[in-house]
Amino acid sequence: MAQKSWFLKGDVVSGAVLAALGVYIISEARQWNYVGPEGPGPGFFPMWYGIAMVVLSLWLVVVSAVRPAVAGAKVDWKGVGRAMLVWAVFALCTALLKLLGLLTVLALLTLFIVGVMYGKSLKIACAAAAGNALGFYLVFSLALNVGLPVGPLGF
């Protein structure tokens, strides 16, 4: 029960976001032909799922807003923060792929997760980073001959 009210609030927020997405879909769909000379146009289908999305999400918002909140709600914001931090670093890593190549990026990502997120010693973190990059090199580049994104140094 502890997280119930947060979920309710989450439903209101996510419902509102989805309703906005639905409105966006409808507004885009209105720019395309609804029905053309050959039959239903590109706007036909998006119009309908856009409308369905708005209706359903508003329904979700209303139902969860009306439902009484349960006391003692608590969100593990720290946990969510940790997850979002990992996500942000992962996103940064994908952005660095072009510059550094996959193996370097993977080593950095491993270093971060092992060293920072799990607080292991620098020695372990470095070994894990090097091992992971080496493993990917052996499996994908060498054994399977998959083309990986490479950096300026050729790896």
Partner 1 sequence: MTLRTSIIMAACAAALAAGPAWAQFKPTKPVEIVVHTGPGGGADVLARFMTQLIEKENLAPVRFQVNNRDGGGGLRAMAYVAEKKGDTHTIAIFTGNWLTNPLVRAEAKFTLKDMQPVARLVLEPAVVAVKADAPFKTMKDFIEAAKKTPGTLKQSGGSQTSRDNVVRQLLMKSTGANWAYISFPGGGERIAALLGGHVNMMVIEPQEAGEHIKAGNMRVIAQVAEKRLAPYPNVPTLKEAGYEIPNVPQVRGVVMPSGVAPDVVAYYEDLFQRMVKTPTWRKYLEDQQFEDGFQKSVELGKFFDTFTNQMREILKEAGTPVVR
Partner 2 sequence: MDVLANLGHGFIVALEPLNLFWCFAGVFLGTVVGVMPGLGPAATIAMLLPLTFKMPPTSALIMLAGIYYGAKYGGSTTAILLNVPGESASVVTCLDGYQMARKGRAGAALGIAAIASFIAGTVGVVALMLVAPPLAKFGLAFSSPEYFALMVLGLAMVVLLAGESLVKALLAMLVGLWIAGMGIDLFSDASRFTFGNSEMLDGVDFVIVAIGVFALSEVFANMEQREEGTMLPVPKGLRNLLPTMAELKACRFAFLNGSVVGFIIGVLPGAGSTIASFISYGLEKAVSKHPEKFGTGVPEGVAAPEGANNSETGGALVPLLTLGIPGSGTTAILLAAFVLWGLKPGPLMIQDNPELFWGLVASMYVGNVMLLVLNLPLIPLFAQILKLPSYLLYPIILGISLVGVYTVSSSLFDCYMLAAFGLLGYLMRRLDYPSAPLILGLVLGDAMERALRQSLMMSQGDLGILVSRPISATMLVLAVLLLIMPLFRKFNSWRVRAIEENG
Binding site for partner 1 (CB under 8 A): 38-39, 150, 152-154
Nearer to partner 1, 119 or 145 (CB): 145
Nearer to partner 1, 68 or 152 (CB): 152
Q: Does 34 bind partner 2 (CB under 8 A)?
A: no
Helix boundaries (H) for the chain? 4-29, 44-66, 77-100, 102-111, 122-136
DSSP reduced 3-state for 35: strand
Instruction: Candidates 2, 27, 30, 42: give the one binding partner 2 (CB under 8 A).
Output: 42
Distance CA 150, CA 155 (A): 5
Residues 6+ apart with CB under 8 A from 105: 93, 94, 96, 97
Q: Does 132 bind partner 2 (CB under 8 A)?
A: yes
In angstroms, give the least distance from the CB of 39 to partner 1.
8
Instruction: Candidates 26, 47, 100, 106: give the one binding partner 2 (CB under 8 A).
Output: 106
The distance of Cα 154 from the centroid of its chain, to the nearest Å, equals 30
Nearer to partner 1, 119 or 152 (CB): 152
Size of site (CB under 8 A) for partner 2: 63
Distance CA 14, CA 50 (A): 16
Q: Does 26 bind partner 2 (CB under 8 A)?
A: no
Distance CA 91, CA 112 (A): 13
Instruction: Candidates 27, 36, 130, 142: give the one binding partner 2 (CB under 8 A).
Output: 36
